[in-house]
Amino acid sequence: MNAKLTLTGLSCIKCGALYPADDRLTCDVCGIDEGILEAEYDMEAVAQGLTREALANRPKSLWRYAELLPLPAEAERPPLQVGWTPLVDAPRMAKMAGVARVILKDDGRNPTASFKDRASAVGAACAKMFGRSTVACASTGNAASSMAGMAASMGIPTTIFVPERAPEPKLAQLLLFGARVLRVHGSYDEAYDLCTKACARYGWYNRNCAINPYLVEGKKTAGLEIGEQMGDNPPDWVVVSVGDGCTVAGICKGMRDMKQLGFLKRLPRVLAVQATGASAFVRQWEAEAEEKLPTEDATTVADSICVSTPRNWRKAVRGVRKSGGTVLAVEDAAILDALRSMPRLSGVFGEPAAAAAWAGVLEARSQGIISADESVLCMVTGNGLKDIRTAVNAAGQPHDIDATLEAVAQVVGEPS
Ligand SMILES: *Cc1c(COP(=O)(O)O)cnc(C)c1O
């Protein structure tokens, strides 16, 4: 697969400068904050290789899209199964939202239980390919635990920067995968900046998606899968929660690719959802500003999207705009309601940032953004066990009873 590398280069999303597809991270002219690069492919060559016939025999993982990934055929990859996550029809959620159909794409089923595995799998393979001895990243939790897992599967050492507030399950994953964990006294944004500086100083491979153009290529595979899994009958909307904006940007790119390649009949509109306490991306969108707006300190129950400075806002804004979609924010209370209703109505248990997407569907419905005859695909970006404390708080208490039938009857009543 991808015997002939179809990747042609990297282009700056701000100034358009072109670079060879090497291990540089950002544009020399626009710098590290603004000069995010985009991987470019020879789409004619991609179209020749990536056919329905070829795909029929490929692995059920993100590696099936070899022609649209930045790795040559011989590149070593993590042996874990990443991607090709299932679609789950959720008719009772559709009924609750008052829409034609709700489909969940359950990315909590990835090896480390979040969407981030898509990016980390590509990141680990790239680090190996470029001969880097250590991979580093800063993360609210999932990118870190995912990177640590992928690296562990390939024997690559990792150094991970996490903010003080990372949930314990994610921290446990990190430590058990053998990462060197630096817990930063500060926010995610501070951890992110520190990681960037440390990478420059120590020569570590920087896994941060907003800065490393190849990582978003991994995230793109969710959009490619939506294109392949739902190509003939695409949903009207694809709903994604947003922190830095890499996830939504990747999904948008993947769906555009699948439209161009003829798999996807029409491009779904993308709804990007944030928490009101961490809604810098929404403000950026609403201002229609071409430059980055000043940001405020973020706070939300959905730790994975608790981001003050969305690093990939430009890519994300363009992606959502090209899809004809829009953005909105939901209150933490709505996220907690969604955290409860999604598992009860579908059997899929998502973490708060995943529930935020579902809360976004309900909000968009009440604002009339999504109409009653439309179908919605909701990205479940992380498994609910990722943040047990919030889940338990939202869940309420069990009935504590003695081990007697009388005690059972006190709760459920006498049999009829
Ligand atoms: C990282 C993450 C997101 C948001 O992705 P960004 O690229 O930061 O916008 C959403 N949900 C979960 C579970 C995540 O881990």
267 confidence band (pLDDT: 50, 70, 90):
very high
Q: Can you give the pLDDT at residue 4? A: 63
**What are 133-167's pLDDT values in tens digits?**
899 998 878 999 999 999 999 999 999 999 888 88
Long-range interactions of 366-374: CB distance < 8 A, separation 24+: 367/328, 369/271, 369/326, 369/328, 370/97, 370/99, 370/236, 370/237, 370/271, 371/99, 372/98, 372/99, 372/100, 373/99, 373/100, 374/99, 374/100, 374/236, 374/237
CA of 387 to the centre of ligand 1 (A): 14
380 pLDDT exceeds 50? yes
Q: What does pTM read for this prediction? A: 0.94
Say yes or no: CB of residue 247 within 6 Å of ligand 1. yes
* 75 C-alpha to ligand 1 centroid (Å): 27
Whether 298 lines ligand 1, by a CB cut-off of 6 Å, is: no
Cβ–ligand 1 distance for 112 under 6 Å, the answer no
Q: How do residues 210-235 score in pLDDT, each as one tens digit?
A: 788 999 999 999 999 999 999 899 99
Mean pLDDT estimate for the chain: 94
Which domains occur in the chain, in start order? 87-111+213-395 (3.40.50.1100)
Mean pLDDT of 30-35: 84
114 within ligand 1 shell (Cβ under 6 A):
yes
CA of 40 to the centre of ligand 1 (A): 23
- 42 C-alpha to center of ligand 1: Å? 29
Write the DSSP assignment of 286-346 as a string of letters.
Answer: HHT-SSPPP------S-GGG--SS-TTHHHHHHHHHHTT-EEEEE-HHHHHHHHHHHHHHH
Band of residue 283 on the pLDDT scale cut at 50, 70, 90? very high
pLDDT in tens, 50-106: 999 999 999 999 999 999 999 998 999 999 999 999 999 999 999 999 999 999 999
**Taking CA 67 as the corner, what is the angle to CA 61 and CA 69, rounded to the nearest 5 degrees?**
65
pLDDT at 2: 46
Share of the chain above pLDDT 90, in %: 82
Residue 381 CA, closest ligand 1 atom number: 13
Instruction: Decide: 67 in ligand 1 pocket, CB within 6 A.
Output: no
Query: For residue 251, what pLDDT is reported?
Result: 98
For residues 252-267, give the mean pLDDT: 97
123 with 214: CB under 8 angstroms? Answer: yes
Q: Is 124 in the pocket of ligand 1 (CB under 6 A)?
A: no
Distance 247 CA to ligand 1 centre (A): 6
| Residue 350 Cα: closest atom of ligand 1 | 13
Would you give the DSSP letter of residue 60?
S
Read off φ and ψ for residue 137, nearest 5 degrees: -155, 160
The stretches of 36-116 forming alpha helices (DSSP H) are 43-49, 52-56, 91-97
305 CB within 6 A, ligand 1: yes
Q: Is 315 in the pocket of ligand 1 (CB under 6 A)?
A: no
Distance CA 218, CA 341 (A): 30
**pLDDT for 161-209, tens place per residue?**
998 888 889 899 999 999 999 999 988 889 889 999 999 899 999 888 7
Give the pLDDT band of residue 416 (cuts 50, 70, 90).
Answer: confident
